[in-house]
Amino acid sequence: MGANASQLEKEIGADHLLSNEHFYGLVNFGNTCYCNSVIQALYFCQPFREKILQYKQQLKKSGSQKENLLTCLADLFHNIASQKRRVGTIAPKKFITKLKKENESFDNYAQQDAHEFLNYLLNTISETLSEEKRQEKAAPASGSSKGGTLKKASLGGGAGANSVSPASTTLSLPPISSEAQPSCSSSAKPSEPTWIHEIFQGTLTNETRCLNCETVSSKDEDFLDLSVDVDQNASITHCLRVFSNMETLCSEQKYSCENCCSKQEAQKRMRVKKLPQILALHLKRFKYVEQLNRYTKLSYRVLFPLELRLFNVSDDAVNGDRLYDLVAVVVHCGSTPNRGHYITVVKSHGFWLLFDDDIVDKIDPATIEDFFGLSECGVQKNSESAYILFYQARDCSAIETNKTSLFNHQ
Amino acid sequence: MQPSYQPEPPAPKDDVLKSHFITREGTYKLMTLSEYSRPNRVPLNPQGGNNTSSAPVRVSFLSVPTSKLNDSVVLDGFGNSQENLTNGGGRDSPTQTDPYFCPDRICFNVGRELYVYVYRGVRSASDLSKPIDKRVYKGTYPTCHDFNQETATAESCSLIIGFSAGQIQLIDPFRKEYQVSRLYNEDRFIDKTRVTCLKWVPGQAQYFLASHASGHIYLYNEELPCSPGAPSYQSFKQGEGFTIYTCKTKSTRNPMYRWSIGEGAVTEFAFSGTDAKYLATVGHDGYLRIFNYHTMELLGFMRSYFGGLLCLAWSPDTKYIVTGGEDDLITVYSVQEKRIVCRGQGHKSWISQVAFDPFTTWLADGMPATSGVPIDLGSEEDLRPSSFNSSSGVFKSVAFRNNSSLLRSRSQKDSISSVSLGGCVTYRIGSVGHDTQLCLWDLTEDTLKQPSILGRHRNSTIIPVGGAPVPAPSSNCFVDAPKASGGKEEKPEKTKKLHKRGFSLGTKLGGNSTDRSGRSGTGSLPHDKDKGKDDPVSRLLGTPICPRMDDITVIEPLICKKIAHERLTVLEFREDCIVTACQEGFICTWARPGKAVLNHQQSINSPNPGSSPNLLPGGTVV
């Protein structure tokens, strides 16, 4: 490790751009690479890191003694950011212990799913933050109990706000008229939005057109990440387009149309209406195969560009052509979801680094190709393939970089 | 931002590879006996564990003159007889006189290996066990290559090969006993990165250009040795996004010039034609740039919708350039109007090669496409000295690649009879990609003439990303904006020049000139340092050189066929066939309509199992 660290130090030493940046490997406490990989990816999501470090400053000021997953993560980030040496290894022991304590599903030495962990972490942080806000206000809580994940909670909020717009005679879905737009925004949200939402939350609009009365209804759903099906030799761009393909709801899946007051065949499509600051894309590489009675890995070759725009944006999206830059990739290595290893590739000041638990290496950007997947493969084949992609909107990166560099000088 | 009414592009759900496809001109058939590959027919495993497999399989062709015939008509890429190559040193490229035998040569790289064979087109392939030349490299592997068409004879030719570690080799595969292998950048003082594209400069027989993953392009003179150490450069010419350096020792040492272009790798470059007037480059920074090669001036550029651009091709009349890239789109750029004409959506992944089909490209009826009409690129007084003069007025069979110089009016007429599109301007474009699909596209006059089409109705207001300087129009018909702004500075002389004999493209151009926007775009080419502060890409969005998806025509492919198991890396339109190659190392020949059966019966040297039973088990095709 020492040799590795000094090698990296040498490589980055000459570059002043990286002089304020810290690259710390994380010790693996027995199958905790799912955790390490996600933490590294989040650490290099600048807006997220900045908020976490700010939170740490607040904690310091207030002298708070509380300890939860958020404070543990803040300590860990602060620990990395305040190291004297720029390269080294840190043991995220406190965080892992807390994680296992707080959620029993992580309290074992089994291999966990990095995406599930990401989801859990973001939701837990968000819940902690909104709880704190509530306490700050010293006002009685809104009363609505939050069940499950945030995604589900906000999904429920939109359900009562279905909007209906007049039918169109053309084959196309008519653009949603302006009066139909304030769908779920007016309804009371079960939880207050936190900076987790500011950073990761986007909105999907679910448009359904009844094939009988041609009425189009739309419903908004918030998301913190998108789980997309993968296809052999496709790009992530294509997978996202397929995600938003028109579906026909028929036979058992018929749609109960409010206008017709009956079950009708309908066409449904989900497109992105609000694009998040950080777009987290989860590639659904683990597929349940009934014959085998277990999950297998789809090692498909799925290309992802370093720069991305979305094609599957709704007509009323406000920032539909937002430009994204790839900032981090969580890679799954292995043949099954329960066996294998997670590593992370991140971009920092234009350089690419690979984090493999406690090992950190600077890599050639061309190496990213190695994580696309395999083009000809059986379902069992071993692969090192991208599992979660983190794209950061360019319009927010400029501001963030400046802020972060200021912060690092403190 | 797919419009709601646009159906999904045709995508075959099954995994069956297509062996034919039908367009309106007829059926294209895969010639299974014309397949070239490694002699053992073992596919290259793209995940073979070493990075040699990542170098794309590339194909180079050479039309070999049977002998130096003085009486033969020398055709240049325009279908003209041509006497005056700019460089006197360039030998004539003799034409093939025997129409039934084309002794072409094919060169391809697979992994660490490089092969040269006789290429017989739609006739069966050569005996794969008997390559003209075969080379296996250690330590470094071939990434690209190019034959020198201008100096080739039946006995001798020059093949340059670029390598993964930056070296360049010059060999003569016809004269192995007399080794003339020469190495450039052998000690990697010039560039250590992969050679991405390599081409002889048309009309300048001794010179070739090599682009590298470093973002540099170097001009070499094959006669000169390379610098014994790191060359010292001097800034020679500078423009937005590029700098050209001369080597202090350029008269005696290679490289002669270094072009430093954009950020990141230059992925491909192409000359506009046999006169090497223009050089177009694409790169990982997502920019297409068009230079006047001789004056070294940047004449125009455009930006991908997102991500890097991976390939490009000039239209046969040099009016348009098509690119393909990481946005899964083909993009057609008008060189004259300095605007994106349309994008094409149909590939499921990145596009690795694009090409215009000169044999299925139609220019205006009964008129020479651009005779005497100089293309106004802003700084040129006379860009096209040579005028078109074809025997067939309707069909302009114009090819700019060296290897397709065997144009015959007879075949042009044959092609005409198969399609009836009289009077329409149609360009045929082909593309292949990482999705293992071949797509063919028709670029019609309708698409070409409108600066922007109201194809999409988006009722929202446009909020420019990153404070784009494009004025956000208050009305819903915001697509008129570029037109309106362009109209202000319309160039009258341009309208005059292009208004020729009802040639509709030119006519339309005058009214819809987006010249101004395009040029102002040229002025705002990003400085590298600005990146992140005021993002140049965001500023370009919404301009004619990077329109929003709603503001531009999006075309769909005529056909979209899965033709390989592995990503496709090569697409080449030839007179009687289309050639494709995939990363497994199989080079396929698709006979054009009417070219398959007849020629196949005339198969001269069939590689059937009888001829080499041990080497070709079964002679079947994978």
In this prediction the ipTM stands at 0.84
Under the banding of pLDDT at 50, 70 and 90, the label for residue B131 is very high
Residue spans of beta strands (DSSP E) within B65-184: 104-110, 113-119, 133-136, 142-147, 159-163, 168-171, 182-184
* Token representation of residue A254: 């018929």
What's at B190, amino acid-wise?
I
Under the banding of pLDDT at 50, 70 and 90, the label for residue B274 is confident
Gap from B188 CA to chain A (nearest CA, Å): 18
Say yes or no to pLDDT of A364 above 70.
yes
d(CA B283, CA B264): 7
Under the banding of pLDDT at 50, 70 and 90, the label for residue A18 is low
Q: Which backbone phi and psi does A69 adopt, to 5 degrees?
A: -60, -35
pLDDT of residue A381: 66
Task: Please write down the HEC assignment for all residues of B75-93.
Answer: ECCCCCECCCCCCCCCCCC
Are A66 and A218 in contact by the 8 Å Cβ rule? The answer is no
d(CA A177, CA A121): 37
Tokens 């169109």 label which residue? A168
d(CA A202, CA B285): 28
Contacts of residue B240, defined as CB under 8 A and 6 or more positions apart, other chains included, come to B298, B522, B523, B524, B525, B526, B527
Of chain A, the percentage scoring pLDDT greater than 70 comes to 79
How many residues can be counted in chain A?
410
Question: Are the beta carbons of B348 and A233 separated by less than 8 Å?
Answer: yes
Q: CA nearest A377 in B: which residue?
A: B47
Q: CA dist B20 to B16, B121, B258, B428, B621, Å?
A: 12, 16, 44, 18, 15
Say yes or no to pLDDT of A129 above 90.
yes
CB interface of A with B, residues 28-87, below 8 Å: none
* Token representation of residue B43: 């596919």
DSSP strand pairing (A87-90 vs A23-26): parallel
Tokens 């040795």 label which residue? B225
> Given CB atoms, is A237 within the 8 Å cutoff of chain B?
yes
DSSP strand pairing (B339-345 vs B553-555): parallel
The end-to-end CA distance of chain B, in Å, is: 39
Between residues A85 and B259, the one the model is more confident about:
B259
pLDDT of residue B15: 65
Of chain B, the percentage scoring pLDDT greater than 70 comes to 62
Q: What is the pLDDT of residues B74-118, one digit of tens each?
A: 333 333 333 333 333 333 333 444 444 557 999 999 999 999 999
pLDDT of residue A17: 62
d(CA A326, CA B478): 31
- How large is the average pLDDT for residues A333-351? 89
- How large is the average pLDDT for residues B326-348? 97
d(CA B112, CA B135): 8
Contacts of residue B84, defined as CB under 8 A and 6 or more positions apart, other chains included, come to none
* Token representation of residue B533: 């502060």
d(CA B442, CA B33): 29
Helices (H), B364-435: 409-418
Say yes or no to pLDDT of B510 above 90.
no
Under the banding of pLDDT at 50, 70 and 90, the label for residue A290 is confident
pLDDT of residue B470: 38
- Pick B1's closest partner by Cβ from A313, A394, A395: A313
Contacts of residue A81, defined as CB under 8 A and 6 or more positions apart, other chains included, come to A22, A49, A53, A408
Q: What is the pLDDT of residues B232-250, one digit of tens each?
A: 999 999 999 999 999 887 6
* Token representation of residue A127: 């819940």
Under the banding of pLDDT at 50, 70 and 90, the label for residue B65 is confident
Say yes or no to pLDDT of A28 above 80.
yes
- Host H or E run for residue B474: none
CB–CB contacts below 8 A, A to B = 128
Angle between helix axes A46-62 and A394-409 (nearest 10 degrees) is 40
- Host H or E run for residue B587: strand B587-591
Q: What is the pLDDT of residues A155-184, one digit of tens each?
A: 333 333 333 333 333 333 333 333 333 333
SS3 of A141, please? coil
Q: Identify which of A10-24, A103-117, A351-365, B591-605 has the greatest average pLDDT.
A: A351-365
Least trusted range by pLDDT, from A60-64, A123-127, B36-40, B500-504: B500-504
Question: In chain A, what are the domain boundaries?
Answer: 2-135+151-169+192-409
Q: Which site among B14, B44, B57, B306 would you substitute to test the A interface, given the most A Cβ atoms closer than 10 Å to its Cβ?
A: B306
- How large is the average pLDDT for residues A8-14? 74
Say yes or no to pLDDT of A329 above 90.
yes
Task: Kindly calculate the radius of gyration of chain B based on its CA atoms and give it in whole angstroms.
Answer: 24
> Given CB atoms, is A309 within the 8 Å cutoff of chain B?
yes
pLDDT of residue A198: 95
- How large is the average pLDDT for residues B367-384? 37
Are A315 and A176 in contact by the 8 Å Cβ rule? The answer is yes
Angle of CA points A398, B216, A327, to nearest 5°: 30
Neighbours of A364 (CB within 10 A): 10
Question: Are the beta carbons of B465 and A241 separated by less than 8 Å?
Answer: no
SS3 of B278, please? strand
Name the CATH architecture for the domain at A2-135+151-169+192-409: Alpha-Beta Complex (3.90)
Look at the alpha carbons of A66, A67, A68, A72 in this order and tell me if their dihedral is positive or negative. Answer: positive
Question: Are the beta carbons of B46 and A375 separated by less than 8 Å?
Answer: yes
Q: What is the pLDDT of residues A239-252, one digit of tens each?
A: 999 999 999 998 88
Residues of chain B positioned with their CB less than 8 A from the CB of A319: 463, 465
Cα dihedral A109→A113→A118→A124 (10° resolution): -50
Least trusted range by pLDDT, from A384-398, B139-153, B590-604: B590-604
Q: Which backbone phi and psi does A205 adopt, to 5 degrees?
A: -115, 130
Name the β-bridge partners of B261. Answer: B242
pLDDT of residue A3: 55
d(CA B183, CA B231): 16
Residue spans of beta strands (DSSP E) within B335-434: 339-345, 351-362, 426-433
Q: CA nearest A241 in B: which residue?
A: B2
The end-to-end CA distance of chain A, in Å, is: 29
Q: What is the pLDDT of residues B486-506, one digit of tens each?
A: 333 333 333 333 333 333 333
What's at B338, amino acid-wise?
K
> Given CB atoms, is B4 within the 8 Å cutoff of chain A?
yes
Under the banding of pLDDT at 50, 70 and 90, the label for residue B450 is low
- Host H or E run for residue B245: strand B242-247
Say yes or no to pLDDT of B52 above 70.
no
Least trusted range by pLDDT, from A78-92, B89-103, B581-595: B89-103
Are B386 and B372 in contact by the 8 Å Cβ rule? The answer is no
Residues of chain B positioned with their CB less than 8 A from the CB of A236: none
Between residues B100 and B271, the one the model is more confident about:
B271
d(CA B17, CA B35): 15
> Given CB atoms, is A241 within the 8 Å cutoff of chain B?
yes
* Token representation of residue B110: 């697979």
Residues of chain A positioned with their CB less than 8 A from the CB of B305: 309
Question: Are the beta carbons of A308 and B460 separated by less than 8 Å?
Answer: no
- Closest Cα to residue A175, out of B552, B344, B550? B550
Question: Are the beta carbons of B463 and A318 separated by less than 8 Å?
Answer: yes
Phi-psi region of B215 (alpha: psi -120 to 50; beta: other; left: phi over 0): left
CA A121 to chain centre: 10
- Closest Cα to residue A328, out of A19, A36, A15? A36
- Verify whether residue A45 is a known catalytic residue: no
* Token representation of residue A231: 């296809």
Say yes or no to pLDDT of B145 above 80.
yes
pLDDT of residue A406: 40
* Token representation of residue A18: 């990286």
Are A328 and A347 in contact by the 8 Å Cβ rule? The answer is yes
Are B2 and A239 in contact by the 8 Å Cβ rule? The answer is no
B/e letters for B543-576, b = 16+ CB within 10 Å, e = fewer, are bbbbbbbbbbbbbbbbbbbbbbbbbbbbbbbbbb
d(CA A132, CA A74): 15
pLDDT of residue A191: 64
pLDDT of residue B368: 34
* Average of per-residue pLDDT values in chain B: 73
> Given CB atoms, is B12 within the 8 Å cutoff of chain A?
no
- How large is the average pLDDT for residues B408-433? 59
Say yes or no to pLDDT of B479 above 70.
no
- Closest Cα to residue A184, out of A108, A107, A273? A273
Residues of chain A positioned with their CB less than 8 A from the CB of B538: 323, 394-395
d(CA B591, CA B577): 4
d(CA B142, CA B116): 13
Are B34 and B124 in contact by the 8 Å Cβ rule? The answer is yes
- Verify whether residue A184 is a known catalytic residue: no
SS3 of B237, please? strand
Question: Are the beta carbons of B466 and A316 separated by less than 8 Å?
Answer: no
- Residue B607: asked if its preceding bond is cis (omega within 30°), the reply is no
Q: What is the pLDDT of residues B208-225, one digit of tens each?
A: 999 999 999 999 999 999
